[in-house]
Amino acid sequence: MELQTLTYIVVGFTFALYIGIAIWARAGSTKEFYVAGGGVNPVANGMATAADWMSAASFIGMAGLIAFMGYGGSVFLMGWTGGFVLLALLLAPYLRKYGKFTVPEFIGDRFYSRTARIVAVVCLIICSITYVIGQMKGIGVAFSRFLEVSYDTGLLVGMFIVFFYAVLGGMKGITYTQIAQYCVLILAYTIPAIFISLNLTGNPLPQLGLGSTISGTDVYLLDRLDQTVTELGFAQYTTAERLSTTNMFVYTLSLMIGTAGLPHVIIRFFTVPKVKDARSSAGWALVFIAILYTTAPAVAGMARLNLMNTIEPAAGENLKYDERPQWFKNWEKTGLLEFEDKNGDGRIQYVADKEKNEMVKVDRDIMVLANPEIAKLPNWVIALVAAGGLAAALSTAAGLLLAISSAISHDLLKGVFMPQISEKQELLASRLAMAGAIAAAGYLGFNPPDFAAGTVALAFGLAASSIFPVLMMGIFSRRVNKEGAIAGMVAGISVTLLYVFQHKGFMFVPGTEFLGDMPANWFFGIEPNAFGAIGALVNFTVANVVSRMTQEPPQEVQELVEHIRVPSGVAEAQDH
């Protein structure tokens, strides 16, 4: 069966599955819409959290970044997985014990202030909108190639699918849909990796294949890759850092605390019955995420080697442009792969020298999707990858849009401006807010800002600088008051945004080679996308200084902080 027909069948089946689940799990109350009724099994919630977390950035983008960054790409692996450890240990169980629907609701109650709640909503919307742009791009990229439609058409279809199951089902529908999406995306990611590892090394486990020798030789795969890229003038794959050690450390920290502060991930832990289940959910999510994240370095290294071997064969002259393979032609149609014959010899030259490099564009987002085609895998595998990429983008987009809509309807409308509305009216407002959020996200997908390609990392920085510190202080500090929390959030996110926009001319897409000296006015050589950790430090400092200069929180609030931190049953046991 030809590829396009098979892709329509596979993608169409998965979409029908998602919509069917949404109809079956339709939310009938605000509790079901916001937290799926609070009765989701921890293992199921861990799987749904993994799907929510593994966005287009993880499925489509991460291996592409690592493929061109090499060792420097470990910043994403360490930061994103390490953040889940922080979330499981420091935030998830305590927030679940508090028992509210949303992050801004906790902040508003803990800091006894409507203003704090409003500021938290604004920070949440900025982080989530920034993040959702990347998901919309992933949807458009996947559809534009595999369904052979325009980017705009693909994005419209994706928006409709998200609108249907997210608006109809709320968190309840999204949770069970994301379980199905996890199964689709993990199969779509690991099956091609197994095929390619077998082809290159004879080892069926990609994680081991990356460190194995190439079939029929005594040469290790990574040694061959290092040799190939350095001969063409690129940095050695296994030693290249992300600009500097300081930048690597700060970038990793920013991604870690940004992970722990992302609202659409945090609200997943409000869906389980007990505090113990929240911690268990985080552990299961880490297991499910690890399957993809331990496979990603192998996918990245093998994809880079396959690409180089196709364009720059080990023996003989460079590939003739007229003899380029079909996968090359397919991706040229999308505009994400472009060639310019600079020397007029009719051959493709791919080198580090920008003046001589005739591959004027190799979008990093195509690497995972194109890898099965480059490796000449069966059509059903290529179709499965298309469905997996779409599942990853749609699952995270739904979670982000729910976080935005709940912040608007529950935290602003119900919590601040119209507290007298009924549950039915609030549910209607939630669905209208969701529809509005989808429309806004779609607009940004059609008209992305100049820095759209780096927005995923930027979203983590914004969450790190605004939401994570105030949650930590709200749980572990009795002394931080409303004035300190508000000042800290405003200072943290403002410093980060100012730094980003001041240096946006020097920002480069994560994964591209940085050629030339880093800008002299970068703060300790820290790139803008990594600045969230510095913003978090500013947030913590300002909040504590302002709190010390103003009146301490009321006694009942201080007792609330102590209650949140004491495990369930301890107080009762101490009384007997």
> Residue 380's domain is classified under what CATH number?
1.20.1730.10
Amino acid at residue number 384? L
Specify the pTM: 0.80
* Cα–Cα dist 130/275, whole Å: 30
Q: How much is the pLDDT for 509?
A: 42
Domain assignment present for 213: yes
Is residue 225 assigned to a domain? Answer: yes
Residue 489 inside a domain? The answer is: yes
pLDDT digit string, tens, across residues 436-453: 877 877 787 776 654 444
Question: In which domain, by residue range, is 325 found?
Answer: 3-566
517 pLDDT band, cuts 50/70/90, is: very low
As a whole number, the mean pLDDT across the chain is 79
How many CB atoms sit inside 10 A of residue 243's CB?
17
**Under DSSP, is residue 361 helix (H, G, I), strand (E, B) or coil?**
strand
* CA–CA distance, 80 with 62 (Å, rounded to integer): 11
Is the pLDDT score of 353 beyond 70? Answer: yes
Q: Does 544 have pLDDT greater than 90?
A: yes
Q: 347: which strand partners? A: 320
Residue 554 or residue 564, greater confidence: 554
DSSP class of 337: E
**C-alpha to C-alpha distance for 363 and 334, rounded to whole angstroms:** 10
Residue 463 lies in a domain: yes
CB contact at 8 A, 284 and 42: yes
In this structure, the number of other CB atoms found within 10 A of the CB of residue 507 comes to 19
Place of tokens 């534009």: 144
Which pLDDT belongs to residue 513?
42
Question: For residues 379 and 574, what is the distance between their CA atoms, to the nearest angstrom?
Answer: 64
Least confident of 41-55, 371-385, 538-552: 41-55
Task: Judge whether 573 lies within some domain.
Answer: no
Which range, 12-26, 83-97, 230-244, 372-386, is most confident? 372-386
pLDDT in tens, 209-219: 999 999 989 99
DSSP secondary-structure letter at 244?
-
The secondary structure of 23-79 as a DSSP string is HHT---SHHHHHHGGG---HHHHHHHHHHHHS-HIIIIIIHHHHHHHGGGGHHHHHH
The phi and psi torsions of 347 (rounded to 5 degrees) equal -115, 155
Q: Is residue 243 part of a domain?
A: yes
Token representation of residue 2: 């030809």
- Give the whole-number percent of the chain exceeding pLDDT 90: 19
Q: Is residue 574 assigned to a domain?
A: no
pLDDT bracket for residue 38 (50, 70, 90): low
In whole angstroms, give the CA distance from residue 460 to residue 293. 18
Query: pLDDT tens digits, residue range 464-492?
Result: 999 999 999 999 999 999 999 999 999 99
Q: Using the predicted structure, report yes or no on whether residue 567 has a pLDDT greater than 90.
A: no
Distance CA 402, CA 137 (A): 19
576 — pLDDT class (breaks 50, 70, 90): very low
- The DSSP code for 235 is P
Q: At a CB cut-off of 8 Å and minimum separation 6, what does 275 contact?
A: 93, 96, 97, 567, 568
The residue-averaged pLDDT of 548-571 equals: 80
319/232 Cα distance (integer angstroms): 15
Q: Which residues contact 87 (CB under 8 A, 6 or more apart)?
A: 259, 260, 265, 266, 282
Distance CA 124, CA 265 (A): 12
Least confident segment among 15-19, 34-38, 371-375: 34-38
**The pLDDT of residue 16:** 81
Tell me the pLDDT band of 390, cut-offs 50, 70 and 90.
confident
| The residue type at 253 | L
CA dihedral 322, 326, 330, 333 (to 10 degrees): 10
C-alpha span between 481 and 485 (Å, rounded) = 6
The residue among 476, 475, 490, 464 whose CA lies nearest residue 543 is 490
pLDDT band (50, 70, 90) for residue 180: confident
How many domains would you assign to the chain? Answer: 1
Structure confidence at residue 167 (pLDDT): 65
Q: Give CA–CA dist 544/59, Å, rounded.
A: 39
Mean pLDDT of 371-390: 84
Choose between 119 and 101: higher pLDDT.
119
* DSSP string across 503-561: TGGG---TTS---SPPPTTSGGG--GGGTHHHHHHHHHHHHHHHHHHSPPPPHHHHHHH
> How high is the pLDDT of residue 455?
63
Asked whether the predicted pLDDT for residue 28 surpasses 70, the reply is no
Centre a 10 Å sphere on the Cβ of residue 274 and count the other Cβ atoms it contains: 14
Return the higher-pLDDT residue of 315 and 57: 57
User: Positive or negative, the Cα torsion across 470, 473, 478, 483?
Assistant: negative
Residue 50: band (very low, low, confident or very high) from pLDDT cuts 50, 70, 90: confident
Residues 195 and 182: their CA atoms lie apart, in Å, by 20
Tokens encoding 94 = 């305590």
Question: Does the residue 575 lie in any domain?
Answer: no
Rounded CA-CA distance 63/171 in Å is 29
Say what the pLDDT of residue 147 is. Answer: 67
| Length of the chain (residues) | 576
